[in-house]
Structure 1
């Protein structure tokens, strides 16, 4: 920090803090903000900037307190509303972030940073048409804004339109040379397109600007993962943890890499540590659920969430994560109770009703689930996840035509939303309309040729239509785009079995088992593959392997009747 003198005013400290923040010197920037607050305790600007510093340091709860303090002193402080949006984004709560940004825009309609983040947040929420309209609207006032173009590129990338995104980012880099995030995003896009050479060139530009930055090194670890070089990825992540052990993202990525190497116990420890650092992040829980875990591990996860709730009893995402833990253990009553506790105070009750509806549907309580979705829609009639689930519950209730009609209407209104299109394609397949399902899936592929979801759905529909060779080609494309998608590998293995390629089927399904060792569908299909190979030539060892797999399936999912039938047939 610059040397202080007796004549520095609060504004001087805030200018210094801004400069330090731009340089990534967050601790020093925070110290400058603290000095400004000492001189002017009721300065909303000082508290808002301190909140930003804390958010950049991932001290999210402290950041929120500073930002709310700023609003206590000035309800029209744009920086405070903007900062709260950033805090919500860090907590993976894009809907809350949108509300804060819309308030900031009311106060500052032409603020470049606010407009840029609004474009991005619409993309995060899948509201791509609104993002595009806003981007077009602001071109007149901000025709060469690198920040707005950067966010629009992210929206394009979310739709799988990576070529367009790279062109947008390339133009933005001409307008502003010192914008490292542009190079980082281009690197990620090139990697997704399979051009790792160009990806590494862009990453090198980023590291040239900021050689010690963590984000590009995290991305480098991701590139190694994409190549299947998990050992090098682990070394990158371990280096990052030696520099800062309290980064939940690194613990999460390291856990994933260790899982790929088959080191499940160590991966589990990193997932649990990530959860301790970021208890509100649902992504961590989803990975923790896939790794082999004990009752002790789940008890520890619950303790982490309970402890976080004692400190902050009004964070509804903590209740949602706790509910998910209970549901994973089959403790549905307790899972429901946690959601209802959050509903008592949350401003996002419609999202909680959606969670509750899904939880009830998992238990086969379809009528009660429908009521939950409809309660949510009364307060947020345009909420897309609620509308999708409300449509799907009709199918569960024996009204597939009503469900298809509702999903088709949503697809017409939201032609770029892959959740809508994916569910429409799946339901068409379930109702025996394979050709229509393929058509919807191909529409997804055309719209986003580097997004694996469309190829997976097309491949699954082609398989069900007994067009196995076409299905195999499409599924191999999906697997190249996302090598870690287990459902794709299962369906690809089934195709190869249908084509008589039994050994290839075994290899694919064994790879799926390495990714998801406790997935009953993976284990069941691998058991079938072992039976096929044994029937061909291999003999008794493979049959014994199949028996062991079916027994394991029934341990994990006692109601898996197909596995029970195969086990009974082999043991008789």
Structure 2
């Protein structure tokens, strides 16, 4: 061991040739334990082929040694020979002390290959072998979290809590918090986020904490978490829409607008941010800038229904019906219209006194709104104005069947049936 340490020191001090020559000499005369140590040194230095030669030499003496099998498999993985590594791991006996470790490595490899069910089987077999081993519970928690089985994931992470102190600070609690949050258990998740973030400021987890706090209505907590995240990484653009929404919920509209503007400055093509900007600007009376943002989104992506419907609604409130028609017909020409847009276009044509076009749009929208009392009432009233009382009465009766409390509609139907 002294000679080996001398060789390591020589290499670390820059005398690489002398150090490597000494290790080569040691390899020829070393006992098996020293050979094993030399193999580990080679591995640490990235000399994987040399390490593998020594491990193969040792396995010739100890073919049933599971630890050597694990070592060989790890080297094969580093050499990107995953299939050979799996074959090596599969040879380790179920009675060997390294068997559970071999199953863990196999699970990792199968998961990386996208064979999640096989990975799960390997981990469950390991858990069956050592049912009280928290490391296995943690591994299962990770697998289920990655796979989207959040309730299972949370259960296994909780089982792994006894080893929380042996993991990187906060890791277990932050993973458990994510599993709980994504599984819909927001209140419980908040406690674990707090616990994990006390020792580890992880960007993804700070965002998860902010999102979870938002979903529980703790908007001040959400703002605090997201502002901290912004301070650590202003380029984490996903935070800005949520931060703006949190400020908006608190009634802090100026701060919400500032968050949106910051976000757009970081990601000028972010449609969600610009739609939110359009809504906030309109809400605060800055209609021109709100319209500008909405039109920017539509110019980039006419299929963004949220932007189109928001702008259509703005134009409707301002009674700019010709602009509504222009907007909605342009979107329709792109083939991106939705039933709501067809309804809006029918209304715009009606108000613009283009009645034939309005009729076509109402008829086109009708199949999508047979259970929508507001649409049915509007369509029915339009038909009355167009001199079609029988058809109007039928449409209005549909609205009344959906809501028997529409007494004014009931009166209109009675009058229509008198004629």
Output the TM-score relative to the length of structure 2: 0.51
Structure 2 residue aligned with 1:182: none
Could you tell me how far 1:423 is from its partner in structure 2? 0.2
Q: How does 1:250-261 map to 2 (within 5 A)?
A: none
Q: Cα deviations across residues 409-432 of structure 1 (Å, max 9, x unaligned)? A: 332332122221110012222334
Return closer, same or farther for 1:531/1:449 CA change in 2, 3 Å cut-off. Answer: closer
- Any stretches of 5+ residues in structure 1 without a counterpart? 1-6, 22-28, 70-83, 92-277, 281-304, 324-334, 361-367, 552-563
Q: How does 1:192-211 map to 2 (within 5 A)?
A: none
Q: Does residue 544 of structure 1 match 2:393?
A: no
Contact 1:502 1:533 in 2 (8 A): no
Return closer, same or farther for 1:358/1:466 CA change in 2, 3 Å cut-off. Answer: farther
Structure 1 residue aligned with 2:366: 510
Q: Does residue 59 of structure 1 match 2:111?
A: no
Q: How does 1:456-495 map to 2 (within 5 A)?
A: 456-478=309-331, 488-489=341-342, 491-495=344-348
Q: How does 1:392-541 map to 2 (within 5 A)?
A: 392-448=245-301, 454-478=307-331, 488-489=341-342, 491-499=344-352, 500=355, 501-513=357-369, 523-536=373-386, 537=388, 538-541=391-394
Q: Does residue 569 of structure 1 match 2:408?
A: yes
Return closer, same or farther for 1:358/1:311 CA change in 2, 3 Å cut-off. Answer: closer
CA distance in 1, matches of 2:381, 2:287: 29
Q: How does 1:162-561 map to 2 (within 5 A)?
A: 279=149, 310=155, 316=177, 319-320=180-181, 322-323=183-184, 337-340=187-190, 343=193, 348=205, 350-360=207-217, 368-369=218-219, 371-381=220-230, 382=234, 384-448=237-301, 454-478=307-331, 488-489=341-342, 491-499=344-352, 500=355, 501-513=357-369, 523-536=373-386, 537=388, 538-550=391-403
Could you tell me how far 1:476 is from its partner in structure 2? 4.5
Contact 1:422 1:454 in 2 (8 A): yes
Contact 2:110 2:118 in 1 (8 A): no
Q: How does 1:122-137 map to 2 (within 5 A)?
A: none
Structure with higher Rg: it is: 2
Output the TM-score relative to the length of structure 1: 0.40
Q: Aligned to 1:415, what secondary structure does the other structure show?
A: coil
Return closer, same or farther for 1:373/1:14 CA change in 2, 3 Å cut-off. Answer: same
Structure 2 residue aligned with 1:38: 90
Contact 1:421 1:440 in 2 (8 A): yes
CA distance in 1, matches of 2:380, 2:110: 60
CA distance in 1, matches of 2:258, 2:227: 20
Return closer, same or farther for 1:353/1:37 CA change in 2, 3 Å cut-off. Answer: same
Contact 1:354 1:372 in 2 (8 A): no
CA distance in 2, matches of 1:407, 1:426: 11
CA distance in 2, matches of 1:393, 1:386: 11
CA distance in 2, matches of 1:48, 1:505: 57
User: RCO higher in 1 or 2 (8 Å CA, sep ≥ 6)?
Assistant: 1
- Any stretches of 5+ residues in structure 2 without a counterpart? 1-59, 64-68, 93-97, 128-140, 159-174, 198-204, 412-419
Contact 1:502 1:532 in 2 (8 A): no
Return closer, same or farther for 1:13/1:430 CA change in 2, 3 Å cut-off. Answer: same
CA distance in 1, matches of 2:296, 2:122: 42
Q: How does 1:35-184 map to 2 (within 5 A)?
A: 35-39=87-91, 48-53=108-113, 56-59=114-117, 62=120
Return closer, same or farther for 1:388/1:61 CA change in 2, 3 Å cut-off. Answer: farther
Contact 1:444 1:454 in 2 (8 A): yes
CA distance in 2, matches of 1:85, 1:310: 11
Contact 1:452 1:481 in 2 (8 A): no
